[in-house]
C-alpha cells in the first residue's frame, strides 16, 4: 500500500486487535449469553458437565487467587467480611426483567411489590372504616341477631361481629356466627353474655406489624382505635390478604372495588385503596401522594378538590377524569373514572409570500 514499514506494522496490529476483540465479544459473550437466555434448561444441561470439570481442575488456582486477593485487601485495611446487601430496587429490577422475559407473571410481580410496601402502609389504608362496620346490639337475643345477620346486613353476612352497647364507643366483645347458631334460637339467650373479649390495636401500626399481631394473637377480628381510644375501624386477615393479592372476588357485583365500563372507564368504590387504583388504571404518580394525605380514591378526590364535592362534580388528575357518581351522606360512595381525551393541537400553516407581495 506504499506505507512505511513501521506504520504498516502498527496499522496491521490495530486491525488484528480490533477484529479479534469484535469476534470475541460477539461469539464469545453476546451470542452464547443470548442462547442461554432463550434456551436456559437445554444450555444448562450441555454446559454443566464441562463446567463442573473445569471448576474441579482450576479449584487450587482459584483458591490461590482468592488468598492473594484477601492478603492485598488486608494490607490495604479494606474490610470485605460483610456481604453486600441486595437492595429493594435491585429485586424490583430483577422482577421486571423476569416479567419481560416471561418467567414471572405480572400479578406475581405486583404481589411482591405489595409485600415490600406493606410496612409503609398505615392501618387507616387497610382497615374497614368505622362507618362501614356491621355490629350487633348486646341486648339482642340470638333469634334477633341471626335475623339481622341473614336479612338486614348491608353488605351480606360476615363470620364475626363486634357486639356493642348502643354504639361502637362501647364494645362488649365479639361473637361469631357459628357461636350464634350453637346457642340456638331461644328468645331468652342474650348474645352480650356469650361474647369473647375484643382485641384492640392502635391505628399507628403498619401493615407488617398488624400481620404479626394477627399471627401471634387468636382474634380473627381486631378493632383499630386512635390515640383517644375511639374505634376508627376493624381489621381481619382478609383485609391484609387483599393488601398483598389485590381485591378478592366480592360477594356482590356492586361491592367490587372497580368495575370496567363499556366506554373504557371504571366505576370505582370510594373506599378503594389508592395503590389498587394505580395498578388498575396504570397511573404512575398522583398529586401529594408522597405526603400521605389520603389512602383511598375518595381521599384523592377530597385532596385534589379541596372541599366536599357534590354529586356530578369532576376533577382531573394524571390524564384521568374522576366524576363523583354517588354520595352516602357526606361520604363519597362511587366514582366514575375515564381517560382524559385532550384535543390534538391544530397544525400551524405558514403561508409563504410571493416575490410580488414582498415587492
Q: Which domains are delineated in the chain? A: 5-75 (no CATH), 88-116 (no CATH), 121-245 (3.10.580.10), 260-339 (3.30.465.10)
> What's the pLDDT at 302?
87
The Cα 249–Cα 77 span in angstroms is 59
* Mean pLDDT, all residues of the chain: 82
> What's the pLDDT at 57?
93
> What's the pLDDT at 155?
55
> What's the pLDDT at 355?
40
> What's the pLDDT at 354?
44
> What's the pLDDT at 213?
84
> What's the pLDDT at 328?
83
pLDDT tens digits for range 205-247: 888 888 888 888 766 889 999 888 899 999 988 888 888 887 7
> What's the pLDDT at 65?
92
The Cα 337–Cα 261 span in angstroms is 9
List Cα–Cα distances, 271 to 140, 216, 276, in angstroms: 30, 28, 11
> What's the pLDDT at 172?
92
Are 226 and 203 in contact by the 8 Å Cβ rule? The answer is yes
Residue ranges in the chain modelled with pLDDT below 50: 252-254, 348-359
> What's the pLDDT at 58?
92
Amino acid at each position: 500500500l506504499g506505507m512505511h514499514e513501521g506504520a504498516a506494522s502498527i496499522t496491521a496490529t490495530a486491525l488484528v486487535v480490533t477484529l479479534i476483540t469484535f469476534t470475541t465479544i460477539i461469539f464469545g459473550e453476546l451470542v452464547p449469553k443470548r442462547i442461554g437466555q432463550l434456551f436456559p434448561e437445554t444450555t444448562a444441561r450441555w454446559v454443566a458437565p464441562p463446567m463442573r470439570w473445569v471448576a474441579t481442575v482450576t479449584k487450587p488456582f482459584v483458591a490461590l487467587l482468592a488468598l492473594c486477593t484477601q492478603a492485598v485487601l488486608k494490607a490495604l485495611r479494606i474490610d470485605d467480611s460483610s456481604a453486600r446487601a441486595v437492595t429493594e430496587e435491585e429485586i424490583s429490577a430483577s422482577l421486571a426483567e423476569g416479567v419481560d422475559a416471561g418467567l414471572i407473571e405480572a400479578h406475581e410481580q405486583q404481589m411482591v411489590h405489595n409485600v415490600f410496601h406493606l410496612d409503609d402502609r398505615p392501618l387507616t389504608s387497610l382497615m374497614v372504616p368505622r362507618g362501614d362496620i356491621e355490629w350487633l346490639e348486646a341486648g339482642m337475643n340470638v333469634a334477633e341477631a341471626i335475623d339481622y345477620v341473614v336479612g338486614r346486613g348491608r353488605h351480606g353476612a360476615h363470620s364475626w361481629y363486634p357486639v356493642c352497647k348502643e354504639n361502637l364507643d362501647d364494645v362488649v366483645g365479639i361473637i361469631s356466627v357459628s357461636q350464634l347458631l350453637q346457642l340456638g334460637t331461644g328468645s331468652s339467650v342474650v348474645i352480650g353474655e356469650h361474647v369473647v373479649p375484643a382485641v384492640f390495636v392502635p391505628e399507628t401500626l403498619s401493615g407488617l406489624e398488624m400481620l404479626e399481631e394477627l399471627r401471634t394473637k387468636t382474634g380473627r377480628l381486631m378493632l383499630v382505635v386512635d390515640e383517644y381510644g375511639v374505634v376508627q375501624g376493624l381489621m381481619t386477615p382478609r383485609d391484609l390478604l387483599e393488601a398483598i393479592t389485590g381485591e378478592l372476588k366480592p360477594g356482590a357485583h356492586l361491592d367490587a372495588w372497580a368495575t370496567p365500563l363499556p366506554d373504557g372507564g371504571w366505576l370505582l368504590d370510594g373506599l378503594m385503596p389508592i395503590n389498587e387504583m394505580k395498578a388498575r388504571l396504570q397511573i404512575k404518580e398522583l398529586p401529594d401522594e408522597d405526603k400521605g394525605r389520603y389512602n383511598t380514591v375518595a381521599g384523592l378526590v377530597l385532596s385534589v378538590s379541596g372541599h366536599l364535592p357534590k354529586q356530578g362534580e369532576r376533577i382531573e388528575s394524571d390524564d384521568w377524569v374522576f366524576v363523583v357518581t354517588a354520595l352516602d351522606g357526606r361520604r363519597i360512595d362511587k366514582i366514575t373514572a375515564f381517560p382524559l381525551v385532550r384535543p390534538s393541537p391544530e397544525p400551524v400553516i405558514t403561508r409563504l409570500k410571493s416575490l410580488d407581495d414582498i415587492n
